[in-house]
Chain A
Amino acid sequence: MTATVWAAIGQFGILLVLLAAVHLPLGAYMARVYSSPHHTRVERAWYRTLRVDPDAEQRWSTYLLSLLGFSLASVLLLYALGRLQAHLPWNLGFSGLDPATAWNTAVSFTTNTNWQSYSGEAAAGHLLQMAGLTVQNFVSAAVGMAVAIALVRGLARSGTDARIGNFWSDLTRGALRILLPIAVVGALVLAANGVIQSLDPHTAITTITGETQQALGGPVASQEVIKVLGTNGGGFFNANSAHPFENPNALTNLVEIFLILLIPSALPRTFGLMVGDRRQGWAILGVMTGLWTVATGLLTWAELAGPGLAPSLAGAAMEGKEARFGLAGTALFGAATTGTSTGAVDSMHDSLTAPGGGVAMFTMMLGEVAPGGVGSGLYGMLVLAVLTVFIAGLMVGRTPEYAGKKIGRGEITLVALYVLTVPAAVLLGSAISVVTGPGLAGIQEAGPHGLSEVLYAFTSASNNNGSAFAGLAAGTPYFNTMTGLAMLVGRFVPIALVLALAGRLASQNTVPASAGTLPTHRPLFVGLVGAVTLVVVGLTFIPVLSLGPVVESLS
């Protein structure tokens, strides 16, 4: 085997060891955070400002209304910040964003998608970056975690009247007690390794060869860390993590991958502890790890083997990739960013090999559950586990149960709608775009690759990933509006369904497990969830994939 292969395996191994080392303590810490009855002084002050009672248990509908209210306020605030940028301080002289871009950006950062139709260094001043985008990076991540915890409570609780916790308390604690401390440490590590952190404006300098170049400045490390930790993905600069000021070397590359996977991979532990059966947590982690390992393996193989004419001529599929990360580092980052809902990139995914791009796309299509975004990965995977229990559970001759909750008509309706929503957004969005004028106008390359570009864009937006395939000219009003809609639908419809599910589950009594209950912690079930996920997603997307990445790969 070549050195590159060993490098790939080595990196992967180090990453797994690091994640394993923090899995138990972080999982337990998060469980404590969301279960503790105590509030810190800062939190109390914040609740007083908001005029909310953090100890009031909310029914799912109230929880959802609080969440939607908060998100709507976030969208409006971000929209205003973007539009009014010219009149606000620290704008680095940039004018306000145009309405379509401001709408797209506001929705994008509130939905934890961080699809960017603007170019950071050419459109966003420091105030917008810090007060707008970075703040949303924290709170949109905290919203996702809150929803996941609410669903976990629904599974853990028994016989309540659909009360699943308090949104304000969950939101605040997630941001202040989990994301903020890790972000501070992470920012210091990144800054120490060369990620810039200043309040300098971008300045033009003259290089020794006499040419003029933009020297970029800004509070990058502080935003970079939450960009990855919160699985947001919106880069300070247009080149995202491929930019040397965001991600200077192979070490920071690995640190960023670690931070991307950190919370999503620890949440199953939190789930296991909160439902009082750690084995359930291991099973969920098992499915996530299995799917992600396969995706990483395939993506790495695709990039290293470099199928296709251009790569074989060039010797390696290096076009559009950074030499300092190498193919292995690029593939690992690609798998991490699409397996979670991050969407940060350290290479242009348009430049992945055809099968590599297909794997990246398919990993997102799984619903970003391997291991998925902060919170959204866990709740997505739990919904799939419930779906699996329903299909397979009947085969043991009992009404299907998950974690002691019966899955009846109401539950399966919510699950079915959840599973339906995102594929509908992806397929309809893509289909409309390939047959209408404004959609076709954005496609850069004809043929299957053009289809891949559009499909990737809507997959990324609907799944709240935010990574771009590049190639597609997505900065048009048409795509800004369409992807904005896809992001909204892909974020809040599933959240509403998950919270409703949590409410239903919380009002059920827990059925004790017996030998007749389908065991949901054994390897067989782990494999089954993986298979159901692959089959359900596969059956939905295979037709369109076969016209895009599959045809490309077979060329």
Chain B
Amino acid sequence: MNRTALALPTSPAPAGHPGDGTPPHTPRVRAGRALSWAQVRAALPGAVRKLDPRVLRHQPVTFVVEIGAVFTTVLSIVDPSVFAWWVTVWLWFTVLFAALAESIAEARGKAQASTLRATQRQTTARKVVAGQDTLDFGSRLDLLETTVVPSASLRVGDVVVVEAGETIPGDGDVIEGVASVDESAVTGESAPVIRESGGDRSAVTGGTVVLSDRIVVRITAAAGATFVDRMIALVEGSERQRTPNEIALGVLLTSLTIVFLLAVATLQPFAVYSGQKQSVLVLVALLVCLIPTTIGALLSAIGIAGMDRLVQRNVLAMSGRAVEAAGDVDVLLLDKTGTITYGNRRAARLEPVGEVTRTELAVAARLSSLADTTPEGRSIVDLAEHSIGAGAALPVDAVLVPFSAHTRMSGVDLDLDGEPFRLRKGAGSAVRGWVRSTGARLPEDVEAHLAELVEDVSRSGGTPLVVAEQLGEAPARVLGVVHLKDVVKEGMRERFDELRAMGIRTVMVTGDNRLTAQAIAAEAGVDDFLAEATPEDKLAYIRREQSGGRLVAMAGDGTNDAPALAQSDVGVAMNTGTSAAKEAGNMVDLDSDPTKLIEIVQIGKQLLITRGALTTFSVANDVAKYFAILPAMFVGLFPQLGVLNVMHLSSPQSAILSAVIFNALIIIALIPLSLRGVRYRPAAADVLLRRNLLIYGVGGLIAPFLGIKLIDLLVSLIPGV
């Protein structure tokens, strides 16, 4: 894998990987990277090191196999036979394959970590020398005296100045200035991003490079505890702690191992009583076949690969617990703007009032917005030109009237054949006030029509923009209403339907009034909405849901989101957000794409499903192994047990050996699946259960019958078995 560790789905595919050139921001559940022989070879030394009992002890199931393998090795030396050696070798293979699974999963993380480490070059920093008071409350800190120090010596609270071409020495918040920053080292995104003081885009990451301008940064993380440090630790797996569900499953696997240990250990007395003492070698073989070696071997690989899948999607989970919690989420809190709707409103319709023609309105709306560079303004021009065609550019002497919070209007003043011509657009009440101030009186019916249009647009979730014109000093007249609409992103409704099928409620959070919120909620198909939401409202909503036992996930970027992010069970902070938000959340999305929450939930579910599916498969396998081994053990004593040899295995010894070989090979066969995760399609729980049960439960019953029979056909060719 030579791909940049954290290369984005949005980044251009590196040469040699044409298959990855997917269009930006296309939601998809990507199949995991294929397993190559090179990877397996690279992971082998690590796997061999894992055979050390002190390391293996932490995987009880595999540890039991290793003890068994040691036993059979001794037995084979003491009393050598072809059969004994074959069994012994394959028992060792079983242990090795189990170690290999974990080793391969870890190796992937290590490759990613080493690319990240490259960003951690030893750099220097220009530290501002001043008293704490000045640092905390002073201004124009960049003019103060600085001293050059190694970036490793920076402490939290230090203030540094970074200029174009310099590397930002550590994680921090921009407290002065604005700069474009190349963050590709961390995010893989090549386009530079703007970082500025005071807003929700103030956080900078150590190791990224300032491309233009100069910023003053207050350091928020000490060297060794920075974001990149944490990322390295996470992807490398060095800080990996087993997650609650993984531990619980481990308990079950251990107890199953004990059950089978009991069943096999007590079989010897029963065999002695029945008159045929069994060889320890055969009993060990039986034990290894029965204990859940498959899932025991793959359990930690599944966990590591789950984290890895998140990293591939540019999401950093600060704890594995959060990944699991993502699968359990019941409520998803999504911000309206930028997540459910495009960030900006767009002009959707032009509604002339009274006797004004649509063309008249379109011309006026276009002219009034030509100078408006906001996406809203551009969308009005687009819409108008769509109906009347492209027109002339604004004359050079046009005077722009910018929008102000005071007038709540914007527009343009033109000179039309010597007479001043004023165009205004803005909120209904503001424009009407302006019209009245020019001495105009609207006829009753026009007034009523206008009110109706404004009301209609509001009710449908849009924003009405009233357009008016004044020629000379004559009374102004109202031309009509531009319907600005929050445009719901394509495909959102389907995604929410999917989520609903998965049992997840989506809640839209917006600062809009109730009426508008309601209309957009209905259009987008969310289950609930939180209108005129303040950060406190959000927090209260999350607490209320949690007190009902539900798990809540949300995405946020601002400092005021931090309490809600901290309170939620899965809090995804946007990488563009503030350090406070990143600190509060338990995941960071490097793409800063809030809709990724949905993918995170799916990855969480996929992780749990993979564990469940392989556990079921592993246990279901045992049935066939009994049919292979038990008749083989006792057919000499009780010939009637031969009828249980339903697979017609060629000899007792080959039956036992075939079961052992199958047991080892199935681990190797399932490593790709455990790294990739089982296929997951959003569906209701009962549908998922039925499908997975059919594949992994019933499949797990049948597969070993076929596998053992096939292996037996080959094994029976070995002379001496």
Contacts and interface: CB of A to CB of B under 8 A. Distances in A.
A427 B262 contact: yes
6 contacts: A397-B685, A398-B605, A408-B245, A435-B269, A535-B622, A551-B634
Nearest to A528: B693
B260 A539 contact: yes
Interface in B496-510: 500-505
A515 B244 contact: no
B540 interface: no
B685 A516 contact: yes
A511 B329 CA distance: 11
Contacts of B689: 392, 395-396, 518, 524-525
Nearest to A546: B630
Q: How large is the interface on A (under 10, 10 to 19, 20 to 34, 35 or more residues)?
A: 35 or more
Contacts of A416: 251-252, 254-256
Contacts of B251: 409, 412-413, 416
Given A514-B503, A544-B266, A409 B248 contact: yes
A450 to B, nearest CB: 8
Contact of B612 (A395, A535, A544): A395
Nearest to A513: B503
The residue in B256, B273, B612, B693 that gathers the most chain A C-beta atoms within 10 A of its C-beta is: B273
B612 A394 contact: yes
Contacts of A547: 270-271, 274, 634, 638
B330 interface: yes
Q: Which 4 A-B pairs have the closest CB atoms?
A: A516-B503, A394-B612, A397-B605, A514-B503
Nearest to A525: B689
Given A397-B605, A551-B638, 12 more contacts: A392-B616, A392-B689, A394-B249, A396-B688, A396-B692, A412-B252, A420-B258, A430-B266, A516-B502, A519-B686, A544-B266, A546-B634
Contacts of A544: 263, 266-267, 270
Interface string B14-46: 000000000000000000000000000000000
A458 to B, nearest CB: 11
B620 interface: yes
B255 A420 contact: yes
A396 B686 CA distance: 8
A524 B690 contact: yes
B389 interface: no
B619 A391 contact: yes
Given A524-B690, A539-B260, A396 B270 contact: no
Nearest to B245: A399
A70 interface: no
Interface string B257-300: 01110111111111111100000000000100010000000000
A510 B548 CA distance: 8
Interface in A429-480: 430-432, 434-435, 447-448, 450-451
Given A394-B611, A397-B604, A519 B685 contact: yes
A394 B549 contact: no
B684 A515 contact: yes
Nearest to A542: B626
Contacts of B271: 547
Contacts of A538: 623
B685 to A, nearest CB: 4
A451 B251 CA distance: 33
A448 B274 contact: yes
B437 to A, nearest CB: 56
Contacts of B620: 535
Q: How large is the interface on B (under 10, 10 to 19, 20 to 34, 35 or more residues)?
A: 35 or more
B626 A539 contact: yes
B373 interface: no
B615 A394 contact: yes
B122 interface: no
Given A512-B549, A517-B685, A539-B626, A398 B328 contact: yes
Interface string A497-525: 00000000000011110111111001011
A393 interface: yes
Interface of B: 244-245, 247-249, 251-252, 254-256, 258-260, 262-274, 286, 290, 324, 327-328, 330, 500-505, 547-550, 604-606, 608-609, 611-613, 615-616, 619-620, 622-623, 626, 630, 634, 638, 640-641, 643-644, 680, 684-686, 688-690, 692-693, 696
Interface string A540-555: 1111101100110011
A540 B264 CA distance: 9
A434 B608 CA distance: 44
A412 B248 CA distance: 6
A540 B634 contact: no
Contacts of B605: 396-398
B263 A540 contact: yes
B68 to A, nearest CB: 17
A158 B548 CA distance: 10
Nearest to B271: A547
A390 interface: yes
Given A428-B262, A539-B622, A554-B640, A509 B549 contact: yes
Contacts of B641: 546, 550-551, 554
Nearest to B623: A535
A407 B244 CA distance: 10
A432 B266 CA distance: 8
Contacts of A511: 330, 549-550
Contacts of A201: none
Given A412-B252, A542-B626, A547-B271, A427 B503 contact: no
Contacts of A542: 626, 630
A144 interface: no
A419 B259 CA distance: 9
Interface in A387-423: 390-399, 404, 407-409, 411-413, 416-417, 419-420, 423
A178 interface: no
Given A542-B626, A542-B630, A399 B267 contact: no
Contacts of A392: 612, 616, 689, 693
B685 A424 contact: no
B510 to A, nearest CB: 24
B263 A543 contact: yes
A510 B546 CA distance: 11
Contacts of A541: 263
Interface in A80-108: none
A122 to B, nearest CB: 32
A395 B549 contact: no
Contacts of B608: 394, 397-399
Contacts of B693: 392, 395, 524, 528
Given A412-B251, A419-B259, A516-B503, A394 B245 contact: yes
Contacts of A395: 609, 612-613, 616, 688-689, 692-693, 696
Contacts of A408: 244-245, 248
A383 B399 CA distance: 79
A158 B501 CA distance: 27
Nearest to B268: A431
B247 A515 contact: no
B652 to A, nearest CB: 14
Interface string A26-54: 00000000000000000000000000000
Interface string A144-157: 00000000000000
A391 B255 contact: no
A11 B62 CA distance: 52
Nearest to B691: A395
Nearest to A519: B686
A518 B274 contact: no
A64 B507 CA distance: 45
A158 B547 CA distance: 11
Contacts of A509: 547, 549
Contacts of B692: 395-396
Contacts of A390: 248, 252
Nearest to A434: B273
Contacts of B548: 512
Contacts of A448: 274, 638
Given A409-B244, A516-B330, A543-B263, A396 B609 contact: yes
